[in-house]
Homo-oligomer: A and B are copies of this chain.
Amino acid sequence: MERVGVLSGYLRGSEAIVRETLALADIEIGGGGPIPLYVHDERFYDRVLTQGAFGFGESYMDGWWDCDRIDQLVYRILEEDLISRIPRDWRIAVSWLRAQLLNLQSAPRAAQVAHAHYDLGNDFFAAMLGRTMTYSCAYWPRASTLDEAQEHKLELVCRKLDLGPGDHVLDIGCGWGAFARLAAERTGARVTGVTVSAPQAAFAREHCKGLPVEIHVMDYRAPELLRAGPFTRIVSIGMFEHVGTKNYRTFMQIAREAMSRDGMLLLHTIGRTGWCDSVEPWVDRYIFPNGVLPTLTELTESIDRLFVMEDWHSFGGDYDRTLMAWNANFERAILENDPRIPASDRFRRMWRFYLLSFAASFRARTRMQLWQLVLSARGVRPVYRSPR
C-alpha cells in the first residue's frame, strides 16, 4: 500500500470527492442515513479513487471500513452508477493512476489467497450451502427456505428435461452430486456425473450410494466422455462459468456429439449484459480466478448450427435471495464458532464481501443474469412446453 500512500498528496481532496459521490446514493460516511458506512482508515479514500471496485473490496478485507448492509451499499452504488458520477477530471486521473497501479495486483500475497476458494473443502461448503450441497442459484417462486428452493431448482431441471427411467443423463460439473441423486431417486433416470475435483467426486459417490449414478473425475473434453454415451439428456448446472469464452463452441460441440438423436441439453449458467465487464478484477483475484461470464451473443454463437433453442429462462433475481441465504448460513456458523469456517478474519471479510456484493449485483438486474437454456438436437415434437 506504500505506493497508494505516496499518491495521497497528489490526490488532493479525495475524501470530499468520495463523500459527495456516495451521498448521491444516500450513503453517509460515519453513521446516519439509511446505509451508514464506517471508515476506520483514512487511506480508504485514495484507495477507492485509484483502484475503484478492486480497492473497495480489498480495503474491506483489510478492515479499513465496515458497513452493516454491504449488500445494500453495493446495490446502491451499482444502481446509481456512482463510478460514472465521479467528476470527469477525477475519472481521467483515476484511469491513469489505475494503470500505474495495476502491477500492484500481481503481488504474491493476493495470488496466495486466490486458491483459498477451491481449497476450502467439503465441510466449509456444507456449512454455507445447507442440506442440498448445491453451489448454484436456487429457484424461489414457491419456496420459503434455501433447502426447499434448491430442491425446487433441481426438480425444475428434471421437469424441463422430462426425465424418466428410460433416460441416461450426463451431468457436466456434477459438484457434490445433488442433481444426480435427486434425478436418479425421483425420476428413475441413470446419471453419469463428471467433475474435475476429486474431493467433490468422493462426496458425490457417497451421496449417491445405491442409486444408478456413476461419478468420474474427468474434464468435459476427455475422450472417455463420448464413449460413455450417447446420453438422452445432458445437464450442466453452474459449471459453464469456468469454461472460458474461447471454449464455448467446443463445449457445445461435445454436448451435441454426446447426445442421442432426440437429445436435449439444459444449461444453467450465470450470464452478463453486454455493458457489464466480463469479470471484476477483485472477483478474478480473490473468488473465481479465470471465471468468465458469457453474454447473450457469446452463447447464441456457440449454439448456432448445433441446437434448436427451445427455451431461455432468466431468473437472476433468485440469485440475490440465494446468496443472502448462503451469507446467513455463513454468519450463523461464525456466531456459533463452527469449526468448519476458517478462523482468519481477512478470509471471513473476503467471503462476506463476495457473497453480499454478488447479491447486490443480481439485485441491480442490469449486470449479472442467471440463465437456464433448454436446447434440443432436432427440435422437440410437436412443440416444447417449458415448465416454470
When distances are taken between beta carbons in the complex, the residues of chain B under 8 Å from A381 are 317, 363, 365
When distances are taken between beta carbons in the complex, the residues of chain B under 8 Å from A312 are 309, 311-312, 314
A379-B365, A385-B388 as given contacts; A309 in contact with B303, CB under 8 Å: no
Cα of A313 to Cα of B385 in the assembled complex, Å: 9
Contact B300 A297 (CB under 8 A): yes
Question: Could you give 6 example pairs across A and B, Cβ below 8 Å?
Answer: A299-B300, A310-B314, A320-B383, A365-B376, A365-B381, A386-B388
Any B CB within 8 A of the CB of A248: no
Cα of A175 to Cα of B40 in the assembled complex, Å: 64
A residues 370-388 in Cβ contact with B at 8 Å: 376, 378-388
CB distance from A299 to the nearest CB of B (A): 8
When distances are taken between beta carbons in the complex, the residues of chain B under 8 Å from A386 are 313, 388
Residue of B nearest to A370 (CB): B383
CB distance from A100 to the nearest CB of B (A): 29
CB distance from A374 to the nearest CB of B (A): 9
Contact A317 B388 (CB under 8 A): no
Any B CB within 8 A of the CB of A122: no
When distances are taken between beta carbons in the complex, the residues of chain B under 8 Å from A388 are 385-388
CB distance from A136 to the nearest CB of B (A): 16
Residue of B nearest to A365 (CB): B379
A364-B379, A365-B378, A383-B315 as given contacts; A297 in contact with B301, CB under 8 Å: yes
Contact B366 A308 (CB under 8 A): yes
Interface string of A304-331 (1 = CB under 8 A from B): 1100111111111110100000000000
CB distance from A294 to the nearest CB of B (A): 11
Supplied contacts A363-B382, A365-B381, 17 more A-B pairs, CB within 8 Å: A140-B383, A273-B308, A274-B304, A296-B300, A296-B304, A299-B300, A308-B365, A309-B314, A310-B314, A312-B314, A315-B385, A316-B383, A317-B381, A320-B383, A364-B379, A365-B380, A385-B388
When distances are taken between beta carbons in the complex, the residues of chain B under 8 Å from A316 are 379, 383
Any B CB within 8 A of the CB of A295: yes
When distances are taken between beta carbons in the complex, the residues of chain B under 8 Å from A303 are 296
Cα of A320 to Cα of B381 in the assembled complex, Å: 11
Contact B295 A383 (CB under 8 A): no
Residue of B nearest to A302 (CB): B297
Cross-chain contact of A382 among B304, B320, B380 (Cβ < 8 A): B320
Any B CB within 8 A of the CB of A275: yes
CB distance from A59 to the nearest CB of B (A): 28
Cα of A366 to Cα of B378 in the assembled complex, Å: 6
CB distance from A362 to the nearest CB of B (A): 9
When distances are taken between beta carbons in the complex, the residues of chain B under 8 Å from A141 are 385
Residue of B nearest to A386 (CB): B388
Any B CB within 8 A of the CB of A369: yes
CB distance from A256 to the nearest CB of B (A): 12
Cα of A300 to Cα of B369 in the assembled complex, Å: 15
Cross-chain contact of A383 among B311, B317, B384 (Cβ < 8 A): B317
Residue of B nearest to A319 (CB): B383
Contact A273 B305 (CB under 8 A): yes
Residue of B nearest to A363 (CB): B382
Cα of A274 to Cα of B312 in the assembled complex, Å: 17
Cross-chain contact of A313 among B311, B364, B366, B380 (Cβ < 8 A): B311
CB distance from A268 to the nearest CB of B (A): 15
A residues 268-296 in Cβ contact with B at 8 Å: 273-275, 295-296
